[in-house]
Amino acid sequence: MIKKLGCLHAHYSNVEYIETALSPYDIDLIHFVEPGLMHRVSSDKGFKKSDAQIKVKEQLEWIALCGVDAILITCTNYIALFNEDQLSLTIPIIKIDEPFFETIIKIQEPVTILFTNPATVNGTMGRLENVAKTSQTAQKIEVKVLNHSFDLLMQGLNEKYNQEIEDFLTQLLMEQKGVIAVAQLSMAEASVRVGKKANKIIINPLQTLVSYIVTTMKLQKKPKVTLR
């Protein structure tokens, strides 16, 4: 049974999402945040993909040495750099997008996937296409990007960021047929708000991740504290 989960994030904002989502369950979370790697990948042309893969390998090995029972990677760009062949870890590594992909490929209707960070689109969709090919799934998927909104999150303007997503999703629900999904962890809160208001399910990676972790790890709810 997994009691201690190490979480590797590319941005500090992801910590709260995971903490809140898993707080009802009996599991200890240890967070490791490294925003520098993705900044260097995008800004340093001399920094090769192989260099980035080595850095991810070092990070995962360091986390494993901290006594965790499993590792969760919450950044899709980190996952795209992750090279399983280079690692010899004995503990499970959970990639946040895999439960999300497994949910998406089971849908028979057309799916619209929304992003706010253009830098994550190619890596995420490339991995989704590979999963779809493996499962021999053929479906219509449309990608939409809400440009410039991700800058708000990077500036710490979380409510403005969420509001832009909510406004866009609300309009999308009126225009689009089929299923709508948001691809990034940072979009989960806004998608849940809009889904509740419209009485619609908007798929998000946090929802599918928690369902996967609770089921596969057989997590138990924390006992309720009774005040006397």
Per domain, the residue ranges of the chain are: 4-95+211-216, 98-204
Share of the chain above pLDDT 70, in %: 96
Residues 6+ apart with CB under 8 A from 98: 131, 212
Higher pLDDT, 128 or 51: 128
Q: What percent of the chain is predicted at pLDDT more than 90? A: 55
Is the model more confident about 33 or about 81?
A: 33
Q: What is the mean pLDDT of the chain?
A: 89
Query: Is pLDDT of 226 > 80?
Result: no
Q: What's the confidence (pLDDT) of residue 11? A: 84
Tokens 């419209």 — which residue?
198
pLDDT greater than 90 at residue 18: yes
pLDDT at 199: 94
The whole-angstrom separation of Cα 219 and Cα 66 is 21
CA nearest neighbour of 40 among 3, 77, 73: 77
Quick check: 49 pLDDT over 90? no
Average pLDDT of 23-50? 85
Q: Which helix (H) or strand (E) holds 71?
A: strand 70-73
At 14, which amino acid appears?
A: N
Q: Which CATH number fits domain 98-204: 3.90.1150.10, 3.40.50.300, 3.40.50.12500, 3.40.50.450?
A: 3.40.50.12500
Average pLDDT, stretch 200-205?
Answer: 94
Contact between 114 and 124 under an 8 Å Cβ cutoff? The reply is no
Query: Any idea which of 128-132, 134-138, 192-196 has the lowest mean pLDDT?
Result: 134-138
Q: Is the pLDDT of residue 98 over 80?
A: yes
Q: Cα-atom radius of gyration of the chain, to the nearest Å?
A: 18
CA 85 vs CA 94, 112, 187: distances in Å: 16, 33, 31
Task: Say which residue, 154 or 86, is predicted with more confidence.
Answer: 154
**Which run of H or E residues covers position 83?**
none
Domains 4-95+211-216 and 98-204 share a fold: yes
Residue 150 has pLDDT above 80, yes or no: yes
Q: Looking at residue 139, what is its pLDDT? A: 73
CATH placement of domain 4-95+211-216: 3.40.50.1860
Contact call for residues 124 and 117 (beta carbons, < 8 A)? no
The two structure tokens encoding residue 87? 């690692």
Rounded to whole angstroms, how far apart are CA atoms 168 and 194?
A: 10
Instruction: State the average pLDDT over residues 132-155.
Output: 86
Q: Is the pLDDT of residue 162 over 70?
A: yes
DSSP run (H or E) holding 213: helix 205-216
Q: E strands, 116-225, where?
A: 141-145, 179-182
Tracing tokens 């997008």 back to the chain, one arrives at 97
Q: What is residue 195's predicted lDDT score, i.e. its pLDDT?
A: 95
In the prediction, which pLDDT does 225 show?
Answer: 64
